Amino acid sequence: MSPSRSNGPHNAVAARCRPAKAQDLQAIVGMLADDPLGARRERLTDPLATSYLAAFEAIAQDPNNELLVAEGPDGNAIAVLQLTFTPHITHQGGWRATIEGVRVASHLRGTGLGRQLLTWAIDRARQRGCHLVQLTTDKQRADAQRFYESLGFEATHVGMKLKLTPAPEGS
Encode pLDDT of 76-117 as tens digits: 999 999 999 999 998 888 999 999 999 999 999 999 999 999
When comparing pLDDT for 159 and 101, which is higher?
101
Indicate the residue type of 117: L
> Mean pLDDT over residues 29-38, rounded?
93
> Mean pLDDT over residues 42-62, rounded?
96
What b-and-e string marks burial along 124-144, b requiring 16 or more CB atoms within 10 Å of the CB?
Answer: bbeeeebeebbbebeeebeeb
Burial class (CB in 10 A: 0-12, 13-18, 19+), 21: middle
- Cα–Cα distance for residue pair 48/44, rounded to 1 Å: 6
- Cα–Cα distance for residue pair 56/19, rounded to 1 Å: 11
Q: Which of 37-41, 61-65, 166-170 bottoms out in mean pLDDT, i.e. has the lowest?
A: 166-170
pTM: 0.86
| Residues 95 and 129 sit within 8 Å (Cβ to Cβ) | yes
Residues in the chain: 171
